[in-house]
Amino acid sequence: MLDPKLLRSDLANVAARLARRGYALDVDRMKTLEARRRELQTRTEELQAERNARSKAIGQAKGRGEDIEPLLAEVSDLGERLEASSSELAEIQAQFDAIVTGIPNLPHESVPSGQDEEDNVEQHRWGTPREFDFTVRDHTDLGALYGYLDFELATRLTGSRFAVMRGPIARLHRALAQFMLDMQTRQHGYEEFQVPYIVNDDSLFGTGQLPKFGDDLFRLEGDQNYYLIPTAEVPLTNIVRDAILKADQLPLRMTAHTPCFRSEAGAYGRDTRGMIRQHQFDKVEMVQVVHPEHSYEALEEMRGHAEAILQALELPYRTVLLCTGDMGAAAAKTYDLEVWLPSQNSYREISSISNAEDFQARRMHARFREQGQKKPSLLHTLNGSGLAIGRCLLAVMENNQQADGSIVIPEALRPWMDGIEVINAPD
RNA sequence: GGAGAGGUGGUCGAGUGGUCGAAGGCACCGGUCUCGAAAACCGGAGCGGGUUCACGCCCGCCGAGGGUUCGAAUCCCUCCCUCUCCGCCA
């Protein structure tokens, strides 16, 4: 959420910056609503003040044993006028809020303008895609070869876009998760969390999925407004909702391994084959809660924390700076890491690292108190995948495959695989 | 799931429907005292919003949302949460 004060004082400039990411702010409507709001709020508060004063006077008169009938007569229509004014104010306020809560974050000045992923800017590449002297299989074929990865079974159990992993592939999946968690906690200073996989609507509002992107979420039956988490970013970031931290507690570095559930309502028809785009996938997530002055250092740092995983696994990747049109609504700046997939002969997203600045903090009322400062100020929040485990699994499978369909386990991962070096056909 | 008791400021804890944003204790900050500290004493302190050049003034907030009333922390309704006992379960 943007600062409502900024929307009042610098509307034209805000609109211009939003236009850069393709968001058309209705400036005239905002001006009209704001003028109306101001008028109604002033009047409502005046009426409230009058009510308070008169009620107090009635109480005092009664205390002195005086006749309060005349005083009551004086306030007879006050309630109605107040009700009329305040309900109209609530109406205007609701319209204003509906717009404000739907406005995306302002892009950082270093973010290139652009429409979609075509306009993203590659920052650098790491590793060299391997040359194969045989025809590469994609992970779906590799998994099917020995029955370690079964999409048809998952379809029978549930429906489309789910996977069943078994034996060594299931084991590899677990190893990846453990490996990533251990790296983030032991080497990068994150605290490990185990969080609910179901959250309420307040949490989803806080991180910005609601109210606008509810279609991408799985909502639970019942009247509790419960949703399956689309990412651990939601529970982890909301840990600081409604909190006022002390400056010396910062930065907070949190990580968690969770499943993520996405209905991907807008993405049907894309990546229908394999486990690139699933309704359920596991991810190790990193979240940082930092002092506003340090959030861009933290962004670079987190990018490094995610890259370190890919480097350790010896997976070729490239780093991409997202353009304004490809960023999520909460992000001011986002890097994507894209891993090399031989079967697609291209790089595919495996991690996304964003600085939300105070966008989420404002929605969550997440603040901190600067040493010696009276007023609390908003924190900055960042999140990044470190990494998406399903996609990492398929990247390992495809990049490390051999002619017979066996898969070499990356060196760094072997301690988490009981020393298994190659995934072969079952005995 | 059944029965009961509760949700008040950083914390503990008062609060007959009327000057209550709310006593008091603790913790906290500033000051006096002290070589320094402790103790004692004095004082200050919540969050959000509106308005003002500013001092300030005003509004809202006692789990959440409704309602009754001139007036609600206090009365009524719905929901959420916590605790105790029983049952069930991992």
A250, A289 Cβ separation under 8 angstroms: yes
Per DSSP, the three-state class of A72 is helix
For CA atoms A80, A81, A82, A88, the dihedral sign is: positive
Q: What share of chain A is helix, strand, coil (3-state, %, to 5)?
A: 45, 20, 35
Tokens of A13: 């400039």
| Distance between the alpha carbon (CA) of A52 and the C1' atom of B21, Å | 15
A77 CA → B40 C1’, Å: 56
Least confident piece of the model among A287-296, A370-379, A399-408 = A370-379
Annotated binding site of A for L-serine: 231-233, 262, 285, 383, 385
Q: Sorting pLDDT into bands at 50, 70 and 90, what band is A27?
A: very high
What's the pLDDT score for residue A80?
83
Dig out the tokens for A164 from the structure. Answer: 């069943």
State in Å, rounded, how far the first CA of chain A is from the last one.
56
Contacts of A376 (CB under 8 A, 6+ apart): A244, A367, A368, A369
Contact residues for A234 (Cβ-Cβ < 8 A; gap 6+): A199, A203, A204, A206, A207, A209
**Domains of chain A in sequence order:** 26-100 (1.10.287.40), 117-423 (3.30.930.10)
Is A367 within 7 A of strand B by CB distance?
yes
Q: Assess whether pLDDT exceeds 70 at residue A55.
A: yes
**Catalytic site positions of A:** 262, 277, 349, 352, 391
- Answer whether any strand B atom is within 7 A of the Cβ of A270: no
CA-closest candidate to residue A150, choices A159, A162, A138: A162
CB-proximal positions of chain B, under 7 Å: 18-19, 47-51, 58-60, 70-71, 80
Q: Indicate the pairing of strand A244-246 with strand A367-369.
A: parallel
For A55, the token pair is 């009620």
Q: What is the pLDDT of residue A419?
A: 87
Which segment, A41-45, A63-67, A300-304, is predicted with the most confidence on average?
A300-304
Q: What is the pLDDT of residue A244?
A: 87
Closest CA to A364 of A209, A235, A206, A246: A206
